[in-house]
Amino acid sequence: MTALWLAWLMAAAAQASGGYRIAGTVVNSASGRPVAGARVILVPLDRRDRQMSAVTGEGGRFAFTGLPSGKYELAGQRRGLLAGMRTGAIAAGPGQDTENIVLRLPPPAAISGKVVDDAGEPVAGALVELLGSRIVEGRRQLAERSSDHTDDIGEYRFPSLPAGSYYLVVSGVPWYTRFNETHGDSAPRGMTHAGYGIRYHPNVGEPAAAEPLVLKAGQEATSNFTLLTVSAAPVFVHCEEQEDLAKQYTLIAAGLPGNPAYVRRGSETGDLYNLWGLPPGHYTLRAEATDGSRTWYGATEFDAGASDTDVSVTLHEAPALSGMVVLASGGNLPAHLTVLLRDETGHSQSVTVGADGRFSIPAVPPGRYRVSIAGADDYYLRRVGELLDIQPGAAARLSLPLARGAGRVAGTVYRDGQPFADALVVMTPGDRSVASNSDGTYEFRGLPAGEYALFAVEDGADLEYANPAAIRPYLIGAKKVQVPSGSSDNLRLDIRK
């Protein structure tokens, strides 16, 4: 009764003062200590142009007053800490306790280390690649987060990292091999050089033996590597197109699943580029050139052996992508509609759709892309997850049939009989997910007619909800709902542990 009485008093006070309050504390997520001087941003979900901000005082407190009933997004930032955001929205309105919101800002973590050779000498200029492991559209993907070269004493450092799982890949060339390099057409043939094999955290030579480095908020982690010397030979790359332009070369080897290792990066003008000290193996070489208005791409695969290897790569002008989004029912397209292209390593690019439905990208790297849309919650592509194969030198055109799904599923997540905030709510098929709001509510909009299964997980940040094997245990007790066009349901979900 006391809780209900306090909620009634707060609602009455809010109505008397002409609005509701959202107030709380910003804390350091690792130490739990209040954070003063943080900038807090509050955004109404239905009017994102009406952004409000405040600065926390002593004790990390903040307050927004005179707010209309509705749902709000809360984020914050402060120098020395990483930006943070509440997973679910905050629901302000009658009977809602929004006086004690906690916003957690994580301290930055870092990974550093030293790279030496098999004699214990530091390796300068070694390429250290940092891959981040994260859930993208319901599936775990590895994607390059950053890369760095070791300094003159063989050290590297990746600062300002959020907590998470990371992989490290290290490659390089011995200093004496670099010292003997000769460029251009005068490069000598038949020379034997030393090279370094690729290493993975925790200092292993095989991708299958690589392990993630699990980083906590604020942690300073160390990962050291020893590059082992192997017999190697030069590779002579011939590229006759665009001789007057500097070509950017990237050499790739088989590495971690879905993310090959970037072994070398360099630039050269002319028709010959040399790779020295390359260990035997199978590689892919990518080339790119631009004159500021046009871009050219090329790629070739080759096997490097124990002796000189000649490789030819041909540049093709980057393919252009154009297309049309067509609304199946006719009428005007939603404003702020965006087409997203995501490649096989998780990297993405986007393009805004015009009012007439047309969109274009002047240059797209060749490859395979998964196509989706953003910025229109009530709409969906009738060909979900369309895969687009863009070939070198060929323009691509895409037609995307868009439909409006009038179906809606809404409800509340509970744990131990109480509404529960920030749960991961998953709907399948369709591989959709949302976070429950501060009052436990959730909503899926724009659904085509069909049968769906829903479940909620207390901490689903690491759940591959688009992976059938990962969600199979949760489907046993999932709630089933039939969505005809225009339906709306109030579906209760209890936390599944």
CB 392 within 8 A of CB 365: no
Which residues neighbour 354 within 8 Å (Cβ) at sequence distance 6 or greater?
none
CA distance 401 to 433: 23
User: Is the peptide bond prior to 473 cis by the omega test (within 30 degrees of 0)?
Assistant: no
pLDDT of 6: 46
- How many C-beta neighbours within 10 Å does residue 70 have? 15
How do the residues of the chain divide into helix, strand and coil, expressed in percent and rounded to 5? 5, 55, 40
pLDDT of 384: 59
pLDDT of 437: 95
What is the tens place of the pLDDT at every residue in 148-185?
999 999 999 999 999 999 999 999 989 887 765 544 44
Q: How many secondary structure helices (H) and strands (E) does the chain include?
A: 3, 42
The single residue listed with the structure tokens 């390796």 is 123
Scored b (16 or more CB within 10 A) or e, 428-442 reads: bebbbbbbbbbbbbb
pTM: 0.81
CB 311 within 8 A of CB 237: yes
CB 422 within 8 A of CB 457: no
Stretch 410-438: mean pLDDT: 93
pLDDT of 190: 52
Residue 111: pLDDT band (50, 70, 90) is: very high
Does residue 265 carry a pLDDT above 90?
A: no
Residue 395: pLDDT band (50, 70, 90) is: confident
Least confident span in 340-344, 429-433, 457-461: 340-344
Stretch 378-402: mean pLDDT: 79
CB 379 within 8 A of CB 334: yes
Bridge partners, residue 25, by sequence:
61, 102
Kindly state the tokens that stand for 245: 């332009």
Does residue 48 carry a pLDDT above 70?
A: yes
Kindly state the tokens that stand for 183: 């460029």
Does residue 8 carry a pLDDT above 80?
A: no
pLDDT of 166: 95
Least confident span in 48-62, 107-121, 250-264: 250-264
Bridge partners, residue 72, by sequence:
44, 90
**pLDDT > 70: percent of the chain:** 91
pLDDT of 258: 67
Q: What is the CA radius of gyration of the chain?
A: 27
Kindly state the tokens that stand for 424: 């991961």
Kindly state the tokens that stand for 360: 């274009």
Kindly state the tokens that stand for 271: 């028709």
CA-to-CA dists, residue 380 to 84, 205, 426, 489, angstroms: 29, 45, 17, 20
pLDDT of 4: 40
Phi (first) and psi of residue 23, to 5 degrees: -140, 160
Stretch 441-466: mean pLDDT: 91
Scored b (16 or more CB within 10 A) or e, 354-389 reads: eeebebebeebbbbebbbbbeebeebbbeeeeeebe
CA distance 177 to 25: 57
Report the chain's mean pLDDT, rounded to a whole number: 87
CB 45 within 8 A of CB 73: yes
* More confidently predicted of 190 and 491: 491
> Which domains, from first to last, does the chain contain?
2-105 (2.60.40.1120), 109-317 (2.60.40.1120), 321-404 (2.60.40.1120), 407-496 (2.60.40.10)
pLDDT of 180: 59
Residue 280: HSE in the Cβ half-sphere, 13 Å Cα cutoff = 6
